[in-house]
Amino acid sequence: MHTPSISLTEFILDEERSFPDATGGFTHLLTQIEYAGKIIASHVKKTGLVDILGKTGEVNATHDEVIEIDRFSNNLLMDTLEASGQVYALASEELADFHYPEKNQGEYVVFFDPLDGSSNTDVDITVGTIFSIYKKSDNLLQPGSKQIAAGYILYGTSVMFIYTVGHGVHGFTLDPSIGSFLLSHRDIKIPSYAPIYSVNEAYYHTFDERTRKYLDDLKKHEEGLKSRYVGSMVADVHRTLIKGGIFLNPSDRENPNGKLRLMIEINPLSYIIEQAGGKAISGDKNPLDIIPSSLHDRAPIALGSPENIDRYLAKR
């Protein structure tokens, strides 16, 4: 028997009905992110054909080189989210501080990485847009536990929209023939354990002691061990979500406080992993409990299958 396809918009509207106080504003915000993702996806597919591939010669607020498609994606998301009328403030990897729309009467604060892994576009590696949504508050630097939604749009062999509003994780795949995201992965659950690890081992000798001990132990005792590392966080975390295992970006000698951005990368992806039954750890803390001191705070991270994380934590 054929099961009718459920579109992302239909699914979001259906979820909205479970919130008695919903006004439709949050749904509109998510559909605007969906709309921007479709446009970014079409441009990512053409980066070798149009003039949005090269470097701009600029660096962003976190000192990463900006390439043309970064700037395009950032501007598109800024304009699209601002046009929704639902946003009080926006925060992007590309901006030094919060951006307040002129008509900032919205109830939501959106953090986003417009194109995570963008330096890989010239070699056709999967990249993605990461987003995180909070309710407006007197202090916009809220811990990740206050997120009301998080997700990412993956631009790979297919285009996927993964998101959670705190009631499980769901995945939608873009059907290019009709231009709609269709439900393809309902209520994703991360495997409890998998012999897979994802880390840039070129930096092994600079890693903290726990991470080195953990990796040494894996190689000595784990049967069927697999190393999988793309170098695009959103792609590595997506694989970990679906296949299980552990993703590591630990502190090292050059980055004692970690390298990845807490509010823009770590919090949304940790929230997704936890909602799928996994675990995340930053040093000895749950990253979602960390109270940020600035927009671009960084932190170490290990996330993935619960048993993998427990074994990592057992190393001292």
Look up the CATH number of the domain holding residue 268: 3.40.190.80
Judgement on whether residues 124 and 38 belong to the same structural domain of the protein: yes
d(CA 45, CA 68): 14
In a domain, 1, yes or no: no
d(CA 296, CA 294): 6
- List phi, psi (to 5°) of 221: -120, -15
Find the largest Cα–Cα distance for the chain: 59
In a domain, 212, yes or no: yes
Judgement on whether residues 171 and 286 belong to the same structural domain of the protein: no
In this prediction, residue 1 carries a pLDDT of 44
In a domain, 190, yes or no: no
In this prediction, residue 115 carries a pLDDT of 94
d(CA 304, CA 293): 26
Q: Residue 19's CB: how many other CB atoms inside 10 A?
A: 11
Q: How many residues does the chain have?
A: 316
In a domain, 3, yes or no: no
Q: At what angle do helices 209-221 and 306-313 cross, to 10 degrees?
A: 120
CATH number (domain holding residue 93) = 3.30.540.10
- Is residue 151 within 8 Å of residue 168, measured between CB atoms? no
Asked which of 116, 151, 185 is the last residue of a domain, the reply is 185
Judgement on whether residues 87 and 112 belong to the same structural domain of the protein: yes
d(CA 198, CA 189): 19
In a domain, 76, yes or no: yes
In a domain, 2, yes or no: no
Provide the CB-side half-sphere exposure for 149 (13 A, CA): 23
Count of domains in the chain?
2
- Is residue 301 within 8 Å of residue 266, measured between CB atoms? yes
Asked which of 164, 185, 206 is the last residue of a domain, the reply is 185
Judgement on whether residues 16 and 151 belong to the same structural domain of the protein: yes
Q: Which helix (H) or strand (E) covers residue 301, if one does? A: strand 301-304
- Is residue 273 within 8 Å of residue 245, measured between CB atoms? no
What are the catalytic residues? 64, 70, 93-94, 113, 115-116, 265
In this prediction, residue 262 carries a pLDDT of 97
d(CA 271, CA 80): 24
Judgement on whether residues 129 and 270 belong to the same structural domain of the protein: no
Partner residues linked to 152 by β-bridges: 130, 162
In a domain, 36, yes or no: yes
Q: Which residue range(s) make up the domain with 110? A: 8-185
Judgement on whether residues 121 and 168 belong to the same structural domain of the protein: yes
Judgement on whether residues 176 and 206 belong to the same structural domain of the protein: no
- Is residue 36 within 8 Å of residue 76, measured between CB atoms? yes
Judgement on whether residues 80 and 169 belong to the same structural domain of the protein: yes
Tokens 């790979």 -> residue: 156
In this prediction, residue 23 carries a pLDDT of 72
Judgement on whether residues 125 and 12 belong to the same structural domain of the protein: yes
Judgement on whether residues 25 and 161 belong to the same structural domain of the protein: yes
Judgement on whether residues 63 and 155 belong to the same structural domain of the protein: yes
Write the burial class of residue 160 (CB in 10 Å: 0-12 exposed, 13-18 middle, 19+ buried). Answer: buried
Q: What is the pLDDT along the chain (316 residues), one digit of tens a residue?
A: 455 689 999 999 988 877 666 678 899 999 999 999 999 999 888 766 555 555 545 555 555 566 788 889 999 999 999 999 999 999 999 899 999 998 767 999 999 999 998 887 778 889 999 999 999 999 999 999 999 999 999 999 999 999 999 999 999 999 999 999 999 999 999 999 999 999 999 999 999 999 999 999 999 999 899 999 999 999 999 999 999 999 999 999 999 999 999 999 999 999 999 999 999 999 999 999 999 999 999 999 999 999 999 999 998 7
Asked which of 133, 165, 185 is the last residue of a domain, the reply is 185
Judgement on whether residues 99 and 68 belong to the same structural domain of the protein: yes
